[in-house]
Structure 1
Amino acid sequence: MNALDAEQNSKVRHIVATGRIYEEVLGLAEKTSAALIVVGAHKADLADYLLGPNAARIVRHAKCSVYVVR
């Protein structure tokens, strides 16, 4: 596995927040003009289109690309 070099690492942020997950993620993405949101998803009900409820809301409402990782 290759590690990110200093230039690549400077473009990646790790942020910890409290509140409703989807609201915090969408709000921060909009505030920072994010180009991509990466979100994990678990096996969920069919009603959530095979995504968890937070991942589904983020995918539906994000103004940028969303990459869902299972």
Structure 2
Amino acid sequence: MLHSILLPVDLSAPASWEKALPRALELAKGGTLHVMTVIPNFSSSMVGGFFEEGFIDRALHEIGEDLTKWVNDNIPKDQEVHPHVVHGRIYDEIIQAADRLDVDTIIMGASPADLTQYLLGPNAARVVRHSTRSVYVVRG
């Protein structure tokens, strides 16, 4: 059993969590499961200029409600769980959250493989390469 696990999920892509969630729940029994989703940044101020003022705050609130519903639908009631919604570069936010929350490990689903991703999705690959925490990648 691990004391604290971080499970990043993409609410719009079940493949990001369908295989990883059961493993995270198995390892988190008796411990804490942190579930997070990341609203990607715009990568450019020019792109960000097309969105109205307050967009990010509204998006954080709406995605937070969606994540809470996801947690209620997918996490057993007896599991201690804390949902987190952040905004930024996906892999950076995962690494920073893992450090801030002092988790034992990050459990991630690998995106479906293709040759351009060398069998591991780009965010999972960056987390594996740059995190100081153990990373458990669930393929599927």
With the shorter chain as reference, the TM-score category is 0.7 to 0.9
TM-score (norm 2): 0.40
Bigger Cα Rg: 2
Count of matched residue positions in the alignment of Structure 1 and Structure 2: 65
Question: As a proportion of its length, which structure holds more strand?
Answer: 2
Q: 1:55 aligns with which of 96, 118, 124?
A: 124
RMSD: 2.3
List runs of 5+ in structure 1 lacking aligned partners: none
Query: Post-superposition shift, 1:13?
Result: 1.9
Identical aligned residues as a percent = 48
List runs of 5+ in structure 2 lacking aligned partners: 1-24, 36-83
AA at the equivalent of 2:92: E
Is 1:17 aligned to 2:86, yes or no?
yes
Over 6 Å off, 4+ runs? none
Question: As a proportion of its length, which structure holds more helix?
Answer: 2
Q: 1:42 aligns with which of 99, 111, 123?
A: 111
**Contact map agreement 1:18 1:24 (CA 8 A) in 2:** yes
